[in-house]
Structure 1
Amino acid sequence: MFEPPETLLKYENPVLISKTTDKKCSKVRNPFKVSNQPHAESPVPPPPKAKSSAAEAPRQQNDDILNLIFPPREWMEGNQLWVQQVSSAPCTRADVVNLEEHLDRKLQQRRAIETGICPVRRELYTQCFDELIRQVTINCAERGHLLLRVRDEIQMTIAAYQTFYESSVVFGMRKALQAEQDKVDMEKKIAVLEQQKEELQKELRDEKAKCDAIEKTEEEKHEVQEKKYTEQIQFLKRTNQQLKVMILTFISMISCKNGNNKKMP
């Protein structure tokens, strides 16, 4: 047996409308969850009410407005059509207190998040606001209609924020993917530059090794040439000294010879 889902919005007991198996009635709507509310045992709709008096006219008008704001719920059980209308019973202060307690209990049972975005908390508060609209509409239809406009405006605002959020998420994901692609390209470029750097460093080391070898060779050549030049200088100095000695000796010999020649006559 299917029953409507539990909600904070107060409904009346479901009523059996028909048992027909006609094709028009055979389209099964989405079944609701099981409810603890008893079904009406009458297999036929209740007889039409007599003409309401002047005192009952506003109440009938409020009921019609309630049905417009909150359409009746319908579902099929086999070949039976069940309808459940929103409750039109006047509310009291105790009903408001019970609604608050029921809301708090539901928030705890369904473990709604107290802060941030929470679909469960939003759903429960939406049901609570619908119940407040129902209670207000029973006493003043105009005030209930105004609250309905406020609810619709809030829902449109939330829908707009949700659209913006989804757009921002898509934009963020696109930017993240683009950044990831740029990161991959940058990593490839860094790898290429690192390879070029290694090649240039290797080339630099080779050139530096060649330069060191050339400097060492030139230093060895310079040392050999300097040693050679030093030996030549020493040789020339010795030769010069010997020549000086020979010249002085020769001069002395000439001087002695000239002196002897002068004494002979």
Structure 2
Amino acid sequence: MKYFSQQGRPLKVSPQQVGEQSTPVPTPPKSKPTSTDTNKQEDEEILNAILPPREWTEGTQLWVQQVSSAPCTRTDVIHLEELLDTKLQQRQARQTGICPVRRELYSQCFDELIRQVTINCAERGLLLLRVRDEIQMSIAAYQTLYESSVAFGMRKALQSEQGKVDMEKKITDLDDEKLELKKQLNELKSQCDAIEKREIERRQIEEKKHVEEIQFLKRTNLQLKVTFQGFTPQKYIFPLHLFL
């Protein structure tokens, strides 16, 4: 909105020749400045300090564009609001969130308000200038903080992605190790079952042999008992001196 008059057109665009030499023209006599001219010149200087003029070159001409020092009316403020709404719609600015287009348009509108206030009261315009600069510094700080937070978030996302890959690899390794341990466990169970089966068979064989041995000893004992009972003690009398 800045650099536009109350009708919304650029003002004070004056061409100057670049690099051309002209014949010297005598300077007209200066009239004595009045208080009104002095105040107007001071206002223009303040406006130029707040909103510096633009300069550009077209061909061999240097163009300078300054803000208008014409006072504004109530109609101008209403027209400024309508122009702001129109620009927001034309440039499709977002109504919420971070939008550079909306920020640019509102910044230009605020500069236009500063220009209008400065024409009526230069001190109030300078105070608004301080407010504008403070807002811009705060926005720049928030932008830097936002960019650093985005960079930090990206680093964390990359680290988490890398950590996810490492964790997936670790999970795969643990699954392989689990399968290997299960395989070893099954082998050990098979060996244990085989050993237990052999021990049961061996114990059964030993018990069978032991039973057979006991039965054999019982039969032998019974035969010896029967044989021993078949002899009388008189038939086996030996001299006593044979045992001395």
Q: TM-score, normalised by structure 1?
A: 0.71
Q: Tell me the amino acid that sits aligned with residue 174 of structure 1.
A: R
2-side partners of 1:55 and 1:136: how far apart?
18
One-letter identity of the residue aligned with 1:212: D
Structure 2, unaligned runs of 5 or more: 21-27, 233-244
Partner AA of 1:18 in structure 2: Q
Provide the rounded CA distance (Å) in 2 between the counterparts of 1:68 and 1:48: 28
In the other structure, the counterpart of 2:236 is: none
The reply on whether 1:20 has 2:18 as its aligned counterpart is yes
Contact kept, 8 Å, 1:8 with 1:124, in 2: the verdict is no
Contact persistence 2:12–2:68 (CA under 8 A): no
CA distance in 2, matches of 1:9, 1:18: 19
Measured in 1, the distance between the counterparts of 2:29 and 2:139 equals 42
Distance of 2:71 and 2:85 partners within structure 1: 23
Do structure 1's residue 120 and structure 2's residue 101 form an aligned pair? Answer: yes
Distance 1:16 1:167, change over 3 A: same
Alignment-derived partner of residue 184 in structure 1: 165
Amino acid at match of 1:205: N
Match of 1:61, SS? helix
1:57 and 1:157 mapped to 2: Cα distance?
36
Secondary structure, in 3 states, of the residue corresponding to 2:56?
A: strand
Question: How big is each residue's C-alpha offset from its partner over 1:179-202, in whole Å with a ceiling of 9 and x where there is no partner?
Answer: 333333333333333333333222
**Residues 18-70 of structure 1: per-residue CA shift (max 9 Å, x gap):** 23345xxxxxxxxxxxxxxxxxxxxxxxx998444223322221111111111
The amino acid across from 1:10 in the alignment is: F
Which of 120, 139, 159 aligns to 2:120? It is: 139
Q: Does the CA-based 8 Å contact 1:9-1:130 persist in structure 2?
A: no
Q: Which residue is 1:75 aligned to?
A: 56
Greater shift in the superposed pair: 198-207 or 106-115: 198-207
Letter paired with 2:72 = C
2:195 maps to which residue? 214
Determine helix, strand or coil for the equivalent of 2:163.
helix
Select the residue among 4, 14, 18 that pairs with 1:10: 4
Query: Which runs of no fewer than 5 residues in structure 1 stay unpaired?
Result: 1-6, 23-46, 255-265
* TM-score normalised by L of structure 2: 0.77
Alignment of 1:6-85 (within 5 A): 7=1, 9-11=3-5, 12-13=10-11, 15-21=13-19, 50-85=31-66
Q: How does 1:237-248 map to 2 (within 5 A)?
A: none
Distance apart, 1:169 and its partner CA: 2.0
Deviation at 1:162, TM superposition (A): 1.2
User: Aligned residue for 1:31?
Assistant: none
Figure out how many residues of one structure are paired with residues of the other and give that number: 221
- For 1:49 and 1:198, locate their aligned partners in 2 and report how far apart those are by CA, in whole Å: 103
Structure 2 counterpart of 1:257: none
Paired-residue identity, %: 65
Give CA-to-partner distance per residue, 1:112-167, whole Å, 9 cap, x none. Answer: 11111111111111011001000000000000000001000110111111111222
Contact 1:112–1:121 under 8 Å retained in 2: yes
Matched residues in 1 for 2:115 and 2:48: separation? 10
CA distance in 2, matches of 1:237, 1:221: 24
Q: Which amino acid aligns with 1:217?
A: R
